[in-house]
Homo-oligomer: A and B are copies of this chain.
């Protein structure tokens, strides 16, 4: 029987997915179900003078119309959010962004519900609004929120100082060494300001929730969510119920990318079903998905002092995160990207200020990388400018400053078990960096670039797993990990199979369902393989121990001499002495009866950063380390960039499923490729003007890199399951900068703002910086 760890097994649900038989919440229909359609604010900031739903209530087919006032009758304090309780289920008194839900129409026919939206009349008293994150952080800017109330994940997870009376709701800082002194000692000091735009997650299954009121059973929420356990806790809190009266379950997700994190439609669906006492489905259109959650636009000021020989002596970062109108998980982005904004470099003197800022735009949250793709764009782009201006090879500059195991990261936490050197070496090798590149001629120029990345695994969080054997010895894994398409069910089956010496195909992994699967923090921050993998290992160890204890007397052997193999317990060195799991179950419970139960849990250790300095002995359960190489051609007449090669190198610790790890890395790279090249949410006076996939340009197959390569580096993590680390974001982080650096190499001009649209590149060329366009 082959080892299960290291098998390039296809996703166990592959066949069902391509034949259209897997379950998605989007396809769920329930008898008597109503469809909810949301009336949204048409203005970015206003006091609600009047919300008149009387005409809509009497419209044909309409069952119910619910406003924020109606919600108050069952949820007196209807504000939710993971970090702050700032977002109302439906707007109360004020609206804070164009697109904010104000009312919901429920009808058996979704078209009837949609039609009735036109009958709702809202009178707004418009308020001054603010959209830019830097302007919003200034004193005197219009205030988006008057007061702040920390949410459930605030106190434990984000050690930050919220400011009241300001749009800056989190002001996270890292202080290490003495940057001022180090700048004075520096040979050269570089200062740049970088921008990244708001972008959309755009999963092909938009956010969807179906709620059932319960009866004698629990309130039941079927939701395309990445965090069923969090949703349960948050709904229980809103309702003032114990968690065991709320059930949240998912199916497969048609993508998530962070856009289905924490709580989205679930509170509105819960309120609707409880008021209507019928099942309610709310499924967003892609246009609505766009204004529901975005990735933060950011402005990053980065100042770096270097010695004459290219050592980075000091780095100062100031980051403004455009959080939109509601904080969502932005505070965690602010912290997490904050403390990694100095990059994977060994810098003695660091000063970071990372500001979460409210504006009158749609809320921003987590989107693959928790802000690290934004700060990576800054430090890796500036890195190439520094190298070029010092006359150094960019890779050599990076190697000289590289953060190595045993050295402290900016947060003070010592790096360990991380392949910073290995990924750098591998990207150089894959890019044939030592060989010169043909730079092209005429209007087609060629360039290449690399970028390195570091991100901390999500800490602290918890996963709990149960593993059972049925009477016939077949194995079931109860894990709350949501399979958003990344293949987690397959990898978790492999980890369980490895632990019980079964084949992964024999293991069944149950979909997340808080009525069946124990707590898991969610499919977020590349944590599932590591955290849930460890929880499952704990559970399989319990099952394995029980099996061996049961077998020892039957086989007349010492427990120490027994091991599991292919569905049996076998005595080492005694070929004939074995008993199958099925037979063992019969000895304990009776033939074909009983359930053997094991459980395990993993909570990452964590040392809360000092609020004044951000210093911590243990800020990351593991580090994600990646390197990206890009080779581009640029049409100097149009500014059009084509990526010829994209090489993605990631330290995955141990590839439990090399096939899935590789496709997840390239998938993550291509997501970020879109953000690097073309994606950008454009707002005019707070109104999104390129909503939906017709206007917002995600890459098509024709836009894709000509070649996408993945190189796996395996530096085992001492605590990881079979040595594995999370890697769901690793492939994403450094893509933009690698491409930008290749463009810089091709043109000699640098673009500091994403995406690298033809217009922006052409403008940079025409600004005339760098070498002349004509040879």
* Chain B proximity mask over A586-598: 1 for CB below 8 Å, otherwise 0: 0011111111010
In chain B, what residue has the closest Cβ to A156? Answer: B591
Residue of A23, A461, A464 with most partner-chain B CB within 10 A: A464
Q: Determine whether the beta carbon of A464 is less than 8 Å from that of B597.
A: yes
Q: Determine whether the beta carbon of B588 is less than 8 Å from that of A603.
A: yes
Q: Determine whether the beta carbon of B21 is less than 8 Å from that of A597.
A: no
Task: Say if the beta carbon of A29 comes within 8 Å of chain B.
Answer: yes
Distance (Å) between the CB of A124 and the closest chain B CB? 37
* Chain B proximity mask over A239-258: 1 for CB below 8 Å, otherwise 0: 00011110000001000000
**A601: chain B residues within 8 A (beta carbon):** 589, 594-595
Q: Determine whether the beta carbon of B589 is less than 8 Å from that of A519.
A: yes
Interface residues of A in 574-604 (CB under 8 A from B): 588-595, 597, 599, 601, 603
**A471: chain B residues within 8 A (beta carbon):** 229, 233, 243, 519
Q: CA of A22 to CA of B218 in the docked complex: distance in angstroms? A: 11
Q: Determine whether the beta carbon of A215 is less than 8 Å from that of B16.
A: yes
Chain A contact patch, size range: 35 or more
Q: CA of A405 to CA of B427 in the docked complex: distance in angstroms? A: 82
In chain B, what residue has the closest Cβ to A157? Answer: B590
Chain A contact surface mostly: loop
Assuming the contacts A29-B31, A510-B515, asked whether A591 and B245 have C-beta atoms less than 8 A apart, the reply is: no
Q: CA of A506 to CA of B13 in the docked complex: distance in angstroms? A: 38
Residue of A23, A217, A590, A595 with most partner-chain B CB within 10 A: A595
Assuming the contacts A589-B601, A603-B594, asked whether A244 and B513 have C-beta atoms less than 8 A apart, the reply is: no
Assuming the contacts A13-B216, A466-B597, A597-B518, asked whether A592 and B152 have C-beta atoms less than 8 A apart, the reply is: yes
Distance (Å) between the CB of A188 and the closest chain B CB? 45
Distance (Å) between the CB of A35 and the closest chain B CB? 14
Q: CA of A78 to CA of B352 in the docked complex: distance in angstroms? A: 70
Task: Say if the beta carbon of A349 comes within 8 Å of chain B.
Answer: no
Interface residues of A in 491-525 (CB under 8 A from B): 506-508, 510-511, 513, 515-516, 518-519, 521
Give A residues with C-beta under 8 Å from B.
12-13, 15-17, 19, 21-23, 27-31, 152, 155-156, 213-218, 229, 232-233, 236, 242-245, 252, 460-462, 464, 466, 468, 470-476, 506-508, 510-511, 513, 515-516, 518-519, 521, 588-595, 597, 599, 601, 603
The 3 closest A-B CB pairs, nearest first, are: A21-B215, A16-B216, A518-B595
A-B contact pairs, 12 of them (CB 8 A): A21-B216, A23-B216, A27-B31, A29-B31, A232-B470, A244-B476, A245-B474, A461-B590, A462-B594, A464-B589, A470-B519, A519-B593
- Interface contacts beyond A23-B215, A519-B594: sample of 20 additional A-B pairs, CB < 8 Å, sorted by A: A13-B216, A21-B216, A22-B215, A22-B216, A27-B31, A29-B31, A152-B591, A155-B591, A229-B593, A242-B470, A244-B475, A244-B508, A462-B589, A464-B589, A466-B466, A476-B515, A510-B515, A516-B516, A588-B603, A594-B601
